[in-house]
Amino acid sequence: MSNNSLFRIAGWCALLAALIMVSFLVVSSIAPTSAIGVTLAIIGVLLITLVFYALYVVHRSESAALSLAGLVLWIPAAVTDIASLANPANTLLYAADSLLFALPFLIFGFLARRSAKMPRGLGLRGLLTGVVWLFAGAASFVGSTTIGMVASLGGFALMLVWLVWLWRVFSSGRLATT
């Protein structure tokens, strides 16, 4: 598969993940314990995995170690997120989920911010998303679960915008193949 095909597929995965995550939010607000909501979130996380792989491919020529770290850190973040969805009452797991979830966004936001291949605003959005998830995790970890939940909703909204923006970037065909 060529890089252009990978980017095109990753772009559509980013858009689909954003739409599925919105569906997850709607289903979860109507029926918080619904298996449909958890299933939607798991599908969204799996789709985002391909997006992070494409970001690794974009940034590996500029910073192989840091882009690989971002991709590798996504794996425990995704696993912890799925575990947190399966056990929503466990606040320690939720705090760990938010903290781990922040790391790939911080790494790829930093890489996009200093890259000529990506819009600088996209990098800033990734960094901001990571910072908000970090704050949500820290707040939940120290026992302020309400503040953590509100902050995670902000991180969720920023992530949705980031995913839609990535769809536009990946679909544009302007990324240089390396």
Confidence category of residue 176, pLDDT binned at 50, 70, 90: low
Q: Which phi and psi (to 5°) does residue 38 adopt?
A: -65, -40
What pLDDT digit, counting tens, does each position of 75-130 carry? 999 999 999 888 878 888 888 999 999 999 999 999 999 998 899 999 999 999 99
Q: What is the pLDDT of residue 29?
A: 85
Return the number of other C-beta atoms located less than 10 Å from residue 96's C-beta: 20
Of 27-31, 53-57, 157-161, give the lowest mean pLDDT range. Answer: 27-31
Return the number of other C-beta atoms located less than 10 Å from residue 143's C-beta: 11
Q: Which phi and psi (to 5°) does residue 105 adopt?
A: -65, -40
Q: Domain-by-domain residue ranges, the chain?
A: 3-172
Could you tell me which residues come within 8 angstroms of residue 46 by beta carbon, excluding any fewer than 6 positions away?
78
* For residues 23-51, average pLDDT: 90
